[in-house]
Structure 1
Amino acid sequence: MTGDVAVLGAGMHPWGKWGRGFTEYGVAAAREALADAGLDWTRVTLVCGAQTVRGGYPGHVAGAAFARALGWQGARVSSSYAACASGAQAVNTARAHILAGMADVALVVGADAAPKGFFAPAGGERADDPDWLRFRILGATNPAYFALYARRRMAVHGDTAEDFALVKVKNAAAGAANPCARYRRAVTADEVAASPVVADPLRLLDICATSDGAAALVLSSMEFARRHTAHPVWITAVSTVTPRFPQTVLELPDFATDSAAGTDPAAGTGKDGAGTVRTGAVQAGRDHAGTVHAGTEPDRAGFRASIAAAAYEEAGAGPEDLDLAEVYDLSTALELQWYEDIGLCPPGDAARLLREGATGLGGRIPVNPSGGLASFGEAVPAQAIAQVCEAVRQLRGQAGDRQIEGARVALTANQGLFGHGSSVVVVR
Structure 2
Amino acid sequence: MTGDVAVLGAGMHPWGKWGRSFVEYGTAAARTALADAGLDWRDVTSVVGADTVRGGYPGYVAGATFAKALGWQGARVTSVYAACASGAQAVSTARTQILAGLADVVLVVGADAAPKGFFRPAGGDRPDDPDWLRFRVLGATNPAYFGLYARRRMALHGDTLEDFARVKVKNAAAGTLNPNARYRKTVSAEEVAASAVVADPLRLLDICATSDGGAALVLTSMEFARRRGVRDPVRIRAVSTVTPTYPTTVPDLPDIATDSAAGAEPQGPGFRASIARAAYEEAGIGPEDLSLAEVYDLSTALELQWYEDLGLCDAGEGAKLLRDGATALGGRIPVNVSGGLASFGEAVPAQAIAQVCELTWQLRGAAGDRQVEGARVGVTANQGLFGHGSSVVAVR
Q: Give yes or no for TM over 0.5.
A: yes
Using the aligned pairs only, state the percent identity.
81
Conservation of the 8 A alpha-carbon contact between 2:291 and 2:378: yes
Structure 2 SS opposite 1:267: coil
| Structure 1: tracts of 5 or more residues without a match | 249-261, 270-301
2:148 is aligned to: 148
Find out whether 1:328 has 2:328 as its counterpart: no
**How many residues end up aligned between the 2 structures?**
383
Conservation of the 8 A alpha-carbon contact between 2:215 and 2:353: yes
CA distance in 1 between partners of 2:267 and 2:122 (Å): 32
1:353 to 295, 299, 321: 321
Find out whether 1:121 has 2:124 as its counterpart: no
CA deviation after TM superposition for structure 1 residue 132, in Å: 2.9
1:94 is aligned to: 94
2:103 is aligned to: 103
CA deviation after TM superposition for structure 1 residue 307, in Å: 0.9
| Structure 2: tracts of 5 or more residues without a match | 250-261
CA deviation after TM superposition for structure 1 residue 31, in Å: 0.3
Conservation of the 8 A alpha-carbon contact between 1:247 and 1:263: no
CA distance in 2 between partners of 1:266 and 1:112 (Å): 36
Find out whether 1:384 has 2:384 as its counterpart: no
CA deviation after TM superposition for structure 1 residue 244, in Å: 3.5
Q: After superposition, what is the alpha-carbon deviation per residue over 1:27-56, rounded to whole angstroms, capped at 9, x for unaligned?
A: 000000000000000000000000001101
2:186 is aligned to: 186
Structure 1 SS opposite 2:84: helix
Conservation of the 8 A alpha-carbon contact between 2:247 and 2:264: no
Paired letter, 1:354 = L
2:51 is aligned to: 51
CA deviation after TM superposition for structure 1 residue 386, in Å: 0.2
Closer, same or farther in 2 for the Cα pair 1:4/1:263, shift >3 Å?
farther
Find out whether 1:373 has 2:341 as its counterpart: yes
Computed over aligned residues only, the root mean square deviation of the Cα atoms, in angstroms, reads: 1.5
CA deviation after TM superposition for structure 1 residue 122, in Å: 2.5
CA distance in 2 between partners of 1:187 and 1:247 (Å): 46
CA deviation after TM superposition for structure 1 residue 138, in Å: 1.0
Paired letter, 2:134 = R
CA distance in 1 between partners of 2:147 and 2:248 (Å): 21
Conservation of the 8 A alpha-carbon contact between 2:247 and 2:265: no
CA distance in 2 between partners of 1:415 and 1:225 (Å): 32
CA deviation after TM superposition for structure 1 residue 246, in Å: 7.6
CA deviation after TM superposition for structure 1 residue 130, in Å: 3.2
Q: Which residues of 2 match residues 130-149 of structure 1 at below 5 A? A: 130-149=130-149
CA deviation after TM superposition for structure 1 residue 125, in Å: 4.0
CA deviation after TM superposition for structure 1 residue 123, in Å: 4.0
CA distance in 2 between partners of 1:423 and 1:237 (Å): 8
Q: After superposition, what is the alpha-carbon deviation per residue over 1:259-287, rounded to whole angstroms, capped at 9, x for unaligned?
A: xxx96425232xxxxxxxxxxxxxxxxxx
Find out whether 1:418 has 2:396 as its counterpart: no
2:363 is aligned to: 395
Q: After superposition, what is the alpha-carbon deviation per residue over 1:227-260, rounded to whole angstroms, capped at 9, x for unaligned?
A: 2212211000000112235899xxxxxxxxxxxx
Paired letter, 1:201 = P
Q: Which residues of 2 match residues 26-425 of structure 1 at below 5 A? A: 26-228=26-228, 229-245=230-246, 264-269=264-269, 302-425=270-393
1:15 is aligned to: 15
Conservation of the 8 A alpha-carbon contact between 2:11 and 2:216: yes
Structure 2 SS opposite 1:185: coil
Closer, same or farther in 2 for the Cα pair 1:94/1:361, shift >3 Å?
same
CA distance in 2 between partners of 1:200 and 1:137 (Å): 20
Q: After superposition, what is the alpha-carbon deviation per residue over 1:390-412, rounded to whole angstroms, capped at 9, x for unaligned?
A: 00000001111100000000000
Closer, same or farther in 2 for the Cα pair 1:263/1:244, shift >3 Å?
farther
CA distance in 2 between partners of 1:247 and 1:362 (Å): 44
Structure 1 SS opposite 2:85: helix
Q: After superposition, what is the alpha-carbon deviation per residue over 1:200-235, rounded to whole angstroms, capped at 9, x for unaligned?
A: 100010000000000000000011011221221100
Structure 1 SS opposite 2:118: coil
CA distance in 2 between partners of 1:264 and 1:343 (Å): 25
CA distance in 2 between partners of 1:338 and 1:119 (Å): 22
Structure 2 SS opposite 1:353: helix
